[in-house]
Amino acid sequence: MKTTFDGTMQPLDRTVPDPALIVLIGAAGSGKSTWASTWPSTQVLELDQFRAMVSDEAGDQSATLSAVNVMHTVLEARLARKRTTVIDATNTEERVRAGLLQMARNYGVPTVAFLVSTPASVCVERQADRSPDRAVPEDVVRRQHADAVAALPHLRSEGFDHVVFADSIHRLEPLLKRASDTRCRELGWDGSDGLGGLLLVRRTFGAEVLPLWRWRDNSPLAGGDRVGEIRLGPDRLVLALRTDVDGEGDVGFDLLVGCPYDDECDAPAWQPVFSVTDLWKAHTSDTGLHPDAVCSVHGGPDDVDQEADDHDQDDDPEGRADLEEQFAAAVRE
């Protein structure tokens, strides 16, 4: 059997036991978080997230000490339960690794040094894609990279049970398996009810909206189309699920809004919404006339002039009083 060696002429290790404390080692921008994402999120302790927890800013370096203290508290609780835990931080300093190793020894949990060996130039280039509060200065990135390279020959003597290179570990299968399991639960392929009618809601507006969504079946407000609402305390958005947009069989949502053509019109009007950003804009600001807004009485922008003429000739065109009552009833419910 052929034996493969790493850059230090040590046999290449591919062992990642379970449970284990897996310490990612690499400069900022090396791709540690990408590898960390192949484990369940509950198993990953990311230092940036703990900075955000204590300071609301993931890049706030002044919050590092507090963030580390909180992270160590969670880590100790997981180690006591013999749970696999991934430390997503640079971990290029020996004193940092020594503290983690000691915690793992205290609970008899095996340790893995997981090296993400991306070239320094690539790590530096990736900082340009980060937000200003997350970007790391070039000199810091290069120092971290140099420290990681220098640490490699000594990681076993530091006390790590296993030293592995990320590029030698197959992690795609568990990532795909977890994503597939999530998908099956959503569709009900695992024997559960799944998300059902909420699947399209989540795809369009995101998971955060789901707990606030309620279908209002049998509502006549949208001309026979299904009506739903997003409600939180006094705030409320009413939407219609359109299943034949533009007569082409497309599916989408319209948001119930006030008539954009006549301030005195109380009839329901609808404007298309395609994302949670559209909902946020409609709820928080006066965005003015939406080019695709349609009033149940006035129609769309091209119909306004003709509708105005009709109103001059008819005391109640197209049953406006009835439409206004439907709108008022929907708002009262």
Question: Are 31 and 171 contained in the same domain?
Answer: yes
Angle formed by the axes of helices 198-205 and 276-284, to 10°? 70
242 plus 314 within the same structural domain: yes
Same domain, 121 and 174: yes
| Tens of pLDDT, residue by residue, the chain (333 residues) | 333 435 554 556 888 999 999 999 999 999 999 999 999 999 999 999 999 999 999 888 899 999 999 999 999 999 999 999 999 999 999 999 999 999 999 999 999 999 999 999 999 999 999 988 888 999 999 999 999 999 999 999 999 999 999 999 999 999 999 999 988 988 888 888 788 889 999 999 999 999 999 999 888 888 889 999 999 999 999 999 998 766 666 789 999 988 877 878 888 889 999 999 999 998 887 655 677 788 877 877 665 555 555 555 555 555 555 555 655 555 555
Domain extent for 262: 198-332
The dihedral formed by the CA atoms of 93, 95, 96 and 99, expressed in degrees to the nearest 10: 160
Question: Is 190 within the bounds of a domain?
Answer: no
102 belongs to a structural domain? yes
Asked if residue 165 and residue 49 are part of one domain, the reply reads: yes
This prediction's pTM = 0.75
Give the span between the Cα atoms of 316 and 327, in whole angstroms.
16
Whether residue 160 is found in the same domain as residue 252: no
Are 173 and 207 members of one domain?
A: no
* Cα within 13 Å of Cα(305), Cβ side: 1
Residues 168 and 261 in one domain: no
Give the count of domains, the chain: 2
